[in-house]
Chains A and B, each alone.
Chain A
Amino acid sequence: MKKSTVSTVFWSGNEACAEAAIAAGCRFFAGYPITPSSEIAEHLAKRLPQVGGIAIQMEDELASIGAIVGASWSGAKAMTATSGPGFSLMQEGIGYAFMTETPIVIVDAQRAGPSTGQATKCGQGDVMQARWGTHGDYSAIALSPNSAQEMFELTIQAFNLAEKYRTPVMLMTDEIVAHMHEQVNVPSLENIEIINRRKPKAGEKAFFGSEEVPPMPAVGDGYDVVVTGSTHDEYGIRVTADPVPHRRLVERLNSKIQNHVDEIADFETYNIDECQVAIVSYGCTSRSVYEAVENARQKGINSGYIRLRTLWPFPEKVVRKLAETAKAIIVPEMNLKQLFYEVERAACGQTKVIPLNKIGGGELITPEELSTKILEAKA
């Protein structure tokens, strides 16, 4: 990237997310106020109309996700932002978007739950809800930024994945990353890769099948598209009892994501081929890992890390490979073990997987706590 094409700004994570949405082509936002995501709604309420878009505050999160689904079927890129309680309310709508292959982006700025919990304090407790929150068989795409810069980059990536795979994508940020202010390097628009949904050609009718990701028309474009959350055939016609169309549809919806895990998987690694002790982390928690690993190396402990930017589909290959060589893998999380079990599953018993968990008060896991764990793990 040429230096002259980048502008440097000082943004909060939420501001970076809102600006990235606009850069990605989002022109519709619907949301309901909730800490710590509200700044996204506030920023978009100001900025979207300036670019001809619409930001509307709905009566609740059920309406918010409904409205963005409607906007998406009108041909717009659409987003909502929430936190745990609202994310819970949106789960049925996420399943609807998955079943109807509606590209939408849902931002969840995680806070300490369950229930109202500690509404202004950070948590990472919605990771499994992102994977399993709606009912029925589905596959999620969920991303995890760890800086304001990545709030920008991964919001764009979330839209791109949603459009490419015609599926809801969740940006699983957290209170710390959402509220921190940092330098963000914003590339000029022509240097940002933007993916748009594939539109049908005239005469095409199979908007729900036959291809892995079928083309998506908009309502009002003359395609007479039939959209339903009920099981449907490739033309969208409801099939309420026949087992074959249900299998065909739900298996395709899952496989269109599961067959592309390697393309979707996004992570940062450091010294993972050599290290004795590794850390697998994500989101705000990963910010302590850099220092902890450096400290450990200075003390002569060969350590490294995988930092996940994609939580779902889980990038298990890289974790499995790490488990073949590392003596121990530490999984720090601001919850009571969630992704830990996924790492343990991927490790297939080939190495020790050690949890490090902390909840409450928004207290981060410190580099010192991680260093202590690394020393213990080595022993």
Chain B
Amino acid sequence: MTETFSAQKYLRDIKPPFCAGCGAYTVTNVFLRAVHELGHENLSKFVFCSGIGCSAWIPSPHFRADSVHTLHGRSLPVATGIKLMRPEANVVVFGGDGDIVGIGMSHFIHAARRNMDILVIMVNNMVYGMTGGQVAPTTPLGSKTTTTPYGSFEHPLDAAKLAVTAGASYVARWTTINVNELKESIKKALQLTGFRFVEVVSQCPTAFGRRVGFKDAGEMLKWFKGNQIPLAQAEKTDEEELAGKIVVGEFAQRQRTTLVETVYNTIKEAQRQNEED
């Protein structure tokens, strides 16, 4: 890569909406770096789709590209309609944990089951940030949020494991400190087909960090660094010891017929049978 990277060429000249220290800046930067390193001069080969929440604003309207900012939780169905009718487009969904595995959970499982040809980048900040810091399906047990003032009494969801079980082609999880690994995962995922899921555990200093005792974003990054454990090591560790740890790594990469392939094969088969009749 001889040309120096500048995110600006991929971005509209609109002020980013994120708080100081937000992980969305890192995710934006890393994604665009991955795109750049894959040799895309612009985003014309991509269609972006997102739901509601802070992370949904990463592509919309900031990326200089086609983007569809949908209802809360419904980015995956809309992306499914787009991809099926535009199979040549590289459809990428950005969303938060609340959007993708809270309100949109059912679509997430079914898109993975179908092996729908979409890359989903889920920015997991463990909280509903845009609405002011309410408990999310990913909030660690015991965390104080605005709707769990005595600490969350629910177990959090492991979205990456769920994606593997549901049938995704590629699954990885990193945090915002693992920028190189994250970039390489996104590059790999962008070149694969089927349902690809990259989870980025990210800091929300405003709506989460300060309520659980981190004085700034830097403190949260230190927490990620000290608290993460590679998947291979996690597999050899007791479940009790893993409580509260962030397991990072590549969870799955496999070949499986994708929805675009099976749908378009069905069209061919239907047309063949119709001609015979």
Contacts and interface: CB of A to CB of B under 8 A. Distances in A.
Contacts of A238: 60-61, 69
B81 A68 contact: yes
Interface string B254-277: 000000000100110111001000
B81 A219 contact: no
A154 interface: no
Interface string B51-92: 000000000110011111111011011111111111011000
A76 B86 CA distance: 10
B85 A54 contact: yes
Interface of B: 14, 44, 47, 49, 60-61, 64-71, 73-74, 76-86, 88-89, 106-107, 110, 263, 266-267, 269-271, 274
A27 B267 CA distance: 12
A339 interface: no
Residue in B67, B74, B76 with the greatest tally of chain A CB atoms within 10 Å: B74
Nearest to A50: B274
A66 B14 contact: no
Interface in A75-125: 75-76, 78, 92-93, 96
A350 to B, nearest CB: 43
A85 to B, nearest CB: 16
B77 A74 contact: no
Contact of A28 (B65, B78, B85, B89): B85
Nearest to B274: A50
Contacts of A237: 14, 61
A225 interface: yes
A106 to B, nearest CB: 14
A219 B89 contact: yes
Interface string A224-257: 1111111000001110000000000000000000
A69 B84 CA distance: 12
B47 A222 contact: no
A276 B115 CA distance: 64
Nearest 7 pairs of A and B residues by beta carbon = A70-B81, A66-B77, A49-B270, A74-B85, A71-B81, A67-B81, A70-B78
A27 B110 contact: no
A227 B59 CA distance: 11
B44 A222 contact: yes
Nearest to A232: B61
Contacts of B274: 50
A54 B267 contact: yes
Interface of A: 27-28, 30, 46, 49-50, 52-54, 56, 58-60, 62-76, 78, 92-93, 96, 218-220, 222-230, 236-238
Given A70-B77, A78-B81, A236 B71 contact: no
Nearest to A237: B61
Contacts of B263: 54, 56
Contacts of A65: 77
A228 B61 CA distance: 9
B207 to A, nearest CB: 17
B81 A28 contact: yes
Contacts of B106: 59-60, 63
B67 A227 contact: yes
A58 B77 contact: yes
Contacts of B271: 49-50, 52
Contacts of A96: 70-71, 74
Contact of A93 (B69, B71, B82, B266): B71
Contact of B81 (A60, A69, A224, A228): A69
A63 B110 contact: yes
Contact of A74 (B73, B82, B267, B270): B82
A69 B81 CA distance: 7
Given A49-B266, A219-B89, A62 B74 contact: yes
Given A56-B80, A74-B84, 11 more contacts: A53-B267, A59-B107, A62-B107, A70-B81, A70-B83, A73-B78, A73-B82, A74-B86, A92-B71, A224-B64, A226-B67
A28 to B, nearest CB: 6
Contacts of A63: 74, 76-77, 80, 106-107, 110
B48 to A, nearest CB: 9
A93 B33 CA distance: 34
Contacts of B86: 74-75, 218-220
A219 B107 contact: no
Contact of A66 (B61, B71, B83, B85): B71
Contact of A225 (B66, B71, B77, B79): B66
Given A227-B68, A238-B69, A71 B267 contact: no
B69 A70 contact: no
A22 B201 CA distance: 45
Nearest to A72: B81
Contacts of B84: 28, 54, 56, 67, 71, 74
Given A28-B81, A222-B44, A229 B71 contact: yes
B82 A219 contact: yes
Contacts of B74: 62-63, 66, 93, 96
